């Protein structure tokens, strides 16, 4: 994979050569002084005309042109069918003073990042398909060129099998402190490819927080911090998957970026024992609300969930799902979904008389019409709610249950 410009690995390096040359020259001067009664010719002034000893010394002291000390190592020069997200690797004896450029067929330099420690260049985005690129490496030391190397490679043709990559969230959205970042793929990603995919998904939060990606399924990956997002955090995430291999001849279709933010901290905690919801905003309790949870035959789930969607008015219709004697069709106000299986926080005027005392719902968190409206006007998608004390543990995956796992459990879902 090495090309022309690789430095010689045999013999002495430039510094060693100069040292020996100086010693050899000094030896000639001493010999001349010992064999001549007159003025010895000096190698500094080149000696007199026709003096062979002095002339030879002068020639020995002149250093040869420096050897090439840089090389492109990958892709191999002349390589074809190179993936569009390829890194360019090189070697240099002096990486700090070495530069590298990649240019396209139009002669324009391609944007990328040069990592001098690892001696690798990373493209800022996927290279154009089916195009030839030229790599040039230049090494310098104290302003003197110590080596150059160049190579070319050609990227693969645009693949026909492309995987769609999408983000659930979009630019300028404001969400709750429990909101996971959600990326979905149009095709299952084999386990052996997930680590590379995950490395190309970066999250920047201000203020910074520790966090990690967790594979919910072969087609979906979430990101959450160790603790709830800090209020008013600004988040930018970048998914660079255009041209990235995703197994079985499939490649990522595109890159995407999202610039969003977290709102105030708003959390809800429901106790089956007290049958009350405690609402906190930015750490301060602002409301205690009587509730009615699921009755014995249809208990509510205990665990930490987040608000998935909000509907000012909707209809709950189970006539196609439950036996006729158990089915119902009911108009609902101020509905806020917290599980995929159909558990909501919602207004239930028919149960206001027993809220705070008895559980009569089908698994939902019932509140009064007044409190339903109050909550609905203040919540954001991603606000967390924790229910405790019921007979049904929340099943992971039944909603956005990222916070229903401990941090150590959550990290196990990372491919890295």
Structure tokens at 410: 């959550």
How far is Cα 182 from Cα 189, in angstroms, rounded to an integer? 15
The residue behind tokens 């979906």 is 220
In 68-164, the DSSP E strands lie at: 70-74, 79-82, 88-92, 98-103, 112-115, 120-123, 132-141, 144-155, 162-163
Residue 364 is a catalytic residue: yes
The residue behind tokens 């299986």 is 341
Catalytic residue, candidates 214, 222, 346, 362: 346
Phi first, then psi, for residue 97 (nearest 5°) are -110, 25
How far is Cα 180 from Cα 177, in angstroms, rounded to an integer? 9
Catalytic residue, candidates 214, 222, 362, 364: 364
The residue behind tokens 């499939």 is 250
Q: Could you give the C-alpha distances from 152 to 77, 80, 146, 381, in angstroms and in order? A: 5, 9, 21, 50
How far is Cα 164 from Cα 251, in angstroms, rounded to an integer? 9
How far is Cα 281 from Cα 232, in angstroms, rounded to an integer? 13
Structure tokens at 49: 């005309």
How far is Cα 131 from Cα 153, in angstroms, rounded to an integer? 8
Residue 313 is a catalytic residue: no
How far is Cα 231 from Cα 179, in angstroms, rounded to an integer? 12
How far is Cα 20 from Cα 12, in angstroms, rounded to an integer? 10
Q: Are 213 and 198 in contact (CB under 8 A)?
A: yes
Residue of 138, 170, 136, 163 whose CA lies nearest to 150: 136
Which residues have a catalytic role annotated? 346, 364
């Amino acid at each position: 994979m090495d090309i022309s410009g690789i430095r010689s690995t045999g013999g002495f390096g430039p510094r060693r050569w100069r040292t020996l040359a100086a010693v050899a020259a000094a030896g000639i001067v001493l010999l001349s002084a010992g064999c001549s009664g007159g003025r010895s010719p000096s190698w500094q002034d080149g000696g007199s005309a026709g003096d062979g000893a002095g002339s030879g010394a002068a020639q020995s002291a002149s250093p040869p042109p420096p050897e090439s000390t840089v090389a492109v190592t990958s892709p191999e020069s002349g390589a074809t069918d190179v993936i569009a997200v390829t890194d360019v690797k090189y070697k240099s004896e002096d990486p700090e003073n070495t530069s590298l450029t990649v240019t396209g067929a139009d002669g324009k330099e391609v944007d990328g990042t040069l990592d001098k420690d690892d001696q690798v260049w990373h493209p800022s985005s996927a290279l154009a398909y089916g195009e030839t690129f030229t790599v040039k490496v230049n090494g310098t030391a104290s302003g003197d060129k110590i080596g150059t190397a160049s190579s070319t490679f050609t990227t693969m043709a645009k693949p026909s099998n492309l995987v769609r990559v999408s983000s659930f969230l979009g630019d300028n959205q404001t969400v709750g402190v429990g909101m996971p970042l959600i990326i979905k793929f149009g095709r299952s990603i084999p386990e052996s490819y997930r680590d590379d995919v995950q490395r190309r998904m970066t999250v920047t939060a201000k203020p910074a927080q520790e966090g990690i990606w967790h594979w919910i399924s072969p087609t979906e990956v979430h990101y959450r911090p160790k603790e709830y997002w800090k209020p008013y955090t600004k988040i930018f995430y970048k998914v660079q998957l255009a041209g990235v291999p995703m197994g079985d001849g499939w490649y990522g279709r595109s890159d995407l970026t999202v610039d969003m933010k977290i709102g105030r901290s708003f959390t809800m905690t429901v106790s089956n024992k007290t049958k009350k919801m405690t609402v906190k905003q930015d750490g301060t309790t602002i409301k205690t609300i009587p509730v009615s949870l699921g009755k014995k035959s249809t208990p509510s789930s205990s665990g930490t969930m987040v608000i998935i969607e909000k509907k000012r008015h909707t209809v709950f219709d189970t006539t196609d799902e439950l036996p006729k004697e158990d089915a119902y069709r009911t108009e609902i106000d101020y509905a806020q979904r917290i599980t995929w299986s159909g558990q909501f926080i919602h207004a239930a005027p028919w149960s206001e008389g027993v809220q705070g005392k008895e559980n009569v719902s089908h698994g939902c968190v019932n509140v009064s019409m007044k409190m339903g409206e109050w909550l609905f006007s203040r919540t954001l998608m991603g606000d967390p709610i924790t229910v405790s004390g019921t007979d049904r543990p929340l099943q992971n995956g039944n909603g956005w249950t990222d916070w229903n796992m401990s941090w150590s459990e959550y990290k196990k879902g990372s491919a890295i």
